[in-house]
Chains A and B, each alone.
Chain A
Amino acid sequence: MIPKTAKKREPFFWFTVSCGIVVMVFILLPLIELVTGPSLSMLGETLNDPDVMRSVGLSIYTAGAAALISFFFGTPLAYLLARTNFRGKRLLESIIDLPIVIPHPVVGIAFLSVAGKNHLIGQIMYELGIRLMGSVTGIITVLTFVGLPFYINTVRDGFEAVSPRLENVSRSLGASMFGTFFRVTFPLAWRTMVIGFIMCGARAISEFGAVVIVAYHPMTAPVMIYERFEGYGLKYSQPVAVWLVTICLLLFFVLRMLTLSKTETA
């Protein structure tokens, strides 16, 4: 709390403020520099470049798909983690967090080794015509991998915030577990599901390391930024970066709006 009275502030207060300013500048300066770098005509030109729009579209599509998959498989697991205690729960939670700490290229390599022809699963996938290497499926797979923890952790916290007593009362009034979930738990936790969805999507859309291993083509926006930087230099990669950042900021904005309206109603 910042004291509102005019009494003399402690040196510690000024220390915390200065550190805060350093952090703000560190985050905002490069981003502002990036956004203001390219001219409007260049931004417009990039917008009309079908390759750029295709890659940004692919990024949104694959990240959205990853978030959707996380929603389907992550929600029940998040509920389980929020409501039950069992032996090995800590271990399970650590496993869920693994994708956060594993270096991203390693993720790509790990998936390719499962999908390789010397692996049983790889052979089955080959028979079924499913390819990870160089495919949209591959991109969605690694994006789900990196995004899943963000979804599960967010939603688990959301479920934990719903008192189990509400569910108990609902059951005692005659509702089944399903009825209870859809009439009590879901209406109280859906906001965190949306937030989890966005967190997962935002994480997925920024993924480069794992994607570039699994699929250089079709090209997602981060890979395209990398390619333009390598091939033509900073000036040509900037406009694509600006468009990607705009989208990420948009996602972030929606996220903040939702969290704010949540604290208002609570």
Chain B
Amino acid sequence: MITLKNLHVRLSEFFLDNISLDISEGEFFVLMGPTGSGKTVLLEAIAGLIPVTRGQIFIQEKEVTGLPPEKRGIGIVYQDQALFPHLTVRKNIAYGLRYHRISGEIAVERIDRLVSLLNLSHLLDRLPGNLSGGEKQRVALARALAVRPEVLLLDEPLSALDPNFREEVRNALKSLHRNTGTTFMMVTHDFVDALSLGDRAAVINNGHIEQAGPVDDIFQKPMSAFVANFVGMKNLFKARFEGTKTSLGDLEIELGRKPDNGQGHIAIRPEDILITRDAFSSTVRNMFKGKVAGVFAQGFTYEVHIRAGETVFKSLITQKALSELAIQEGEAVSISFPARAIHNF
């Protein structure tokens, strides 16, 4: 569907280096990465809004690298919605139809369908200026989809929205993707968006792709320290493997399998580390005694740092668990995690 081959882009501040990606038809593809990593640049390069220095872009097996944006069949939805402020909602949605020679009944029918799908009928004669963030984003989606693009590019469509609107637009995205069969490519830095919407994903860092694959793989099986860190695998350690075991200082950790490489990293999600008051015996779990080194509030959860030997583990627990365990800094606790929660690369 979309194929990028060795794409290079040089701008004054940003660059993309040797980007190769394959996105299948009808897929919901998520592009993640930290601020300034080049996510938006990549989207705009695919849309033809930024010139490409080297490499090729194919859409539906057709090369579009040199084509102007209006000839690519790509819709784009920005974080700030970019609605035409001087046009009513109806005119915004109908903006592109004339360039696709759609008029009369077909145009009306097509707009009606999107309007009812996105629940916009009461807004049609209003100007964008006095709509809520969620409403604006739904209008932007309708406008982009009215011309039936083969690909819809979404540049952080949810991150500028208030939490309650975010849910609304996320659901709209989900149903649109299901109903239209259009290929979606969305830039986000929100894990919830990526996990709830994406089929496959790529993590981009510093202008190059760190890892691409199914969304679950990115979160569960990162292949580099950067991705592990980025997806929140906060327990990330360099490791040397001996048989099915690895050592962190004087701690011996059982992996339950034999890694292919002699040395690399192990990574454990903080949610997978269980804190208990006393040690209990179990054959499957790696269990260590340690001391609480710090408790940090993170909204509804708490991150607890536990020092075991020379290693600091980070565990994520609920407020309820925190008060039940009565955890305080400096206290002795036990931590445990199953071998299957350990990811190695």
Contact = CB atoms under 8 A, between A and B. Distances in A.
A175 B96 CA distance: 7
Given A168-B69, A168-B82, A179-B99, A173 B75 contact: yes
Contact of A168 (B44, B86, B96, B98): B44
Contacts of B149: 172
B287 interface: no
30 contacts: A163-B80, A163-B82, A165-B80, A168-B49, A168-B76, A168-B82, A169-B76, A169-B78, A169-B82, A169-B84, A169-B144, A170-B95, A171-B49, A171-B69, A171-B70, A172-B47, A172-B49, A172-B69, A172-B70, A172-B75, A172-B76, A172-B144, A173-B75, A174-B98, A174-B99, A174-B147, A175-B70, A175-B95, A176-B68, A177-B68
A173 B144 contact: yes
Interface in A135-179: 163, 165-166, 168-177, 179
A188 interface: yes
Contacts of A177: 68
Interface of A: 85, 163, 165-166, 168-177, 179, 183-184, 187-188, 266
Contacts of B143: 169, 173
A165 B77 CA distance: 10
Interface in B35-89: 44, 47-49, 68-70, 72, 74-76, 78, 80, 82, 84-86
Contacts of A165: 78, 80, 82
A146 B129 CA distance: 38
B100 interface: yes
Contacts of B100: 174
A139 to B, nearest CB: 38
Contact of B70 (A85, A174, A266): A174
Given A165-B78, A168-B69, A173 B96 contact: yes
Contacts of A166: 82, 84
A168 B47 contact: yes
B283 interface: no
A212 B69 CA distance: 52
A171 B80 contact: no
Contacts of B75: 172-173
| A-B pairs with lowest CB-CB distance, top 10 | A174-B99, A173-B96, A171-B69, A165-B82, A172-B76, A174-B70, A169-B82, A174-B96, A187-B86, A168-B49
B86 A173 contact: no
B179 interface: no
A183 B270 CA distance: 52
Interface residues of B, number: 28
A23 B80 CA distance: 42
B164 interface: no
B281 interface: no
Nearest to A187: B86
A188 B85 contact: yes
A264 to B, nearest CB: 11
A176 B70 contact: yes
B323 interface: no
B106 to A, nearest CB: 15
Q: Which of B12, B48, B49, B69 has the most CB of A within 10 A?
A: B69
Nearest to B49: A168
A106 to B, nearest CB: 37
Given A168-B47, A168-B49, A168-B69, A173 B82 contact: no
Contacts of B80: 163, 165
Nearest to A165: B82
Contacts of B96: 173-175
A173 B93 CA distance: 10
Contacts of B86: 187-188
Nearest to A177: B68
B13 to A, nearest CB: 10
Nearest to B99: A174
Contacts of B69: 168, 171-172
Given A174-B96, A175-B70, 4 more contacts: A163-B82, A168-B78, A171-B69, A177-B68
Interface in B80-131: 80, 82, 84-86, 95-96, 98-100
A118 B100 CA distance: 59
Contacts of B47: 168, 172
A172 B99 contact: no
B84 A173 contact: no
Interface string B268-296: 00000000000000000000000000000
Contacts of B12: 85
A217 to B, nearest CB: 47
A166 B84 CA distance: 7
A169 B68 CA distance: 13
B69 to A, nearest CB: 4
Contacts of A175: 70, 95-96, 99
Contacts of B70: 171-176
A60 B49 CA distance: 44
